[in-house]
Chains A and B, each alone.
Chain A
């Protein structure tokens, strides 16, 4: 399959108040990939995502979206290519689920335009694709964490883009919803969507990624196929714990070792 690069990051550096946060970041995301960004807290994963979305700017290095520097894109134009799915969160106003999902259509609307019946149709289709049509008129604030995350995913679908960026998608979800969300991502990737997601779980990266990028101490230290990159040595180096990789059913799973009473 000919790989078509969507996001290309080249020799990117970023400092916050003169403290380096990212150094020499180089990687490419191609069409159809599911890339998991793995790394400990504070390694710069979220910063990298915010740079790609142009929420913050770096003067050193380059980020290209479909071959063009993101500095040449407006936020509206970026939103026409990439949908961002933040961690579920509280919203100050109690919008309904449908109203939340409709907000994904704003990037498609002209300055004076109001949403048309066509926009509503797309919002309903997205809800049904995720399987949460029954929530359409519920207040967003009263949903569970898992449901909120699904709504944000449905909102991303209404943007009618091929690339999704997710920040810690399973964070705060209960055990069942974590797996259900991963299954949903896997299903959407089969339909051709491209994903870049950060995660804290090597196990999750093994389940749904086509590629894993590992970051540690501001740099990318590994980039490749999940089962080649995620090894006991890598887990030990990055997280400082032991781990066993076990083949179970058709997947390789990652189980951390647990030492009783090390203190």
Chain B
């Protein structure tokens, strides 16, 4: 694919993302007229006389909708870029960002936080830490069984670590107060962007954007890693370094998404498949495009979750309900992209 065509596709995707972002900001229980919105943007960017509407919009857009929209974009992009990287690295179409146990670990950490403290920042910190601990355990098991550090052992380590932390999560649920803590844990595990606040979102956006950018930088190496470790090495890739970097970056992005929004499944599994079917497997376009489309997907899913019914449906449920039928269709056509 030529440079111009690659560039064109990415710009088009960005424009679509921008349009959906604006529409998401306008829609809600209090719909905002497009002209009012443009006036408000003009006022925010270039100043001018404030009025009551603008004060109201400050509250609705800046405090309520914008953090949520930004978080949906960040998490959608993080999860699908991590999924794309992992599918290439582990040469496996069923791999998702959670394969090394990061989501199970972070969920356990969050549940533990809710059990021992009512401070939200403790919950978030524990989620983040245990996301990394779980991946560390996976890598350790993977390298313990054999010293060849082959990817299949790593996947096995991830499955073991994931099961371990899922079991530990059950322990927490079992001993949690069934009238207050348990429902909080269960609800939070369903995944939701309702906790988003502007300050927190801006704070996590820095590491999340850095890890997304980092993984996109590694794009050209993922093509080679998908040929297998030995061939990649023979073609000049420092395989252990690229693999370790990708694991650290994906773990960082994924644990932060659990920290901010709980468990949101399916994004990191289906988006890479859809994009690969659409534009082919070359990672130079695949990686950035799956970041953008992942963001679009989660933004749309979140709009459904807050607008479709009078009560908000947890986002994790929506992504599963949308994701499963898409995945079935994708699997039917997967032979086009996977041999």
Contacts and interface: CB of A to CB of B under 8 A. Distances in A.
A92 interface: yes
Contact of B276 (A93, A106, A114): A93
A93 B238 contact: no
Contacts of B235: 79, 84, 103-104, 106-107, 159
A96 B280 contact: yes
Interface stretch (B47-55, B220-228, B314-322): B220-228
Contact of A76 (B227, B238, B284): B238
A75 interface: yes
Contacts of A55: 230, 233-234
Contacts of B238: 74-76
Contact of B223 (A54, A86, A99): A99
Contacts of A54: 233
B281 A76 contact: no
A103 B284 contact: no
A103 B338 contact: no
A95 interface: yes
Interface in B59-118: 88, 91, 93
A48 to B, nearest CB: 14
Interface residues of A, number: 33
Contacts of A53: 233-234
Of B93, B223, B338, most A-chain CB atoms within 10 Å:
B223
Interface in A69-123: 74-80, 84, 86, 90-96, 99, 103-104, 106-107, 109, 111-112, 114-115, 117
Contacts of A91: 226-227, 339
B223 A94 contact: no
B226 A109 contact: no
Nearest to A93: B281
A77 B237 CA distance: 10
B177 interface: no
Contact of B236 (A75, A93, A117): A75
The interface centre, meaning the residue of A93, A112, A114 with most chain B CB atoms within 10 A of its CB, is A93
A95 B281 contact: yes
A209 to B, nearest CB: 22
B233 A75 contact: yes
A84 B226 CA distance: 17
A117 B337 CA distance: 26
A93 to B, nearest CB: 3
B339 A92 contact: yes
Given A99-B282, A107-B236, A94 B220 contact: no
B91 A92 contact: yes
A114 B220 contact: yes
A117 B280 CA distance: 20
Contacts of B224: 103, 106
A94 B280 contact: yes
Contact of A93 (B220, B284, B337): B337
Nearest to A90: B339
A75 B236 CA distance: 5
A46 B231 CA distance: 14
10 contacts: A75-B236, A76-B236, A77-B236, A86-B231, A93-B339, A94-B281, A96-B282, A99-B281, A106-B235, A114-B220
Given A90-B339, A94-B338, 14 more contacts: A53-B234, A77-B236, A93-B339, A94-B280, A95-B280, A95-B282, A96-B282, A103-B235, A106-B223, A106-B224, A106-B236, A111-B217, A114-B220, A114-B284
Interface of A: 50, 53-55, 74-80, 84, 86, 90-96, 99, 103-104, 106-107, 109, 111-112, 114-115, 117, 141, 159
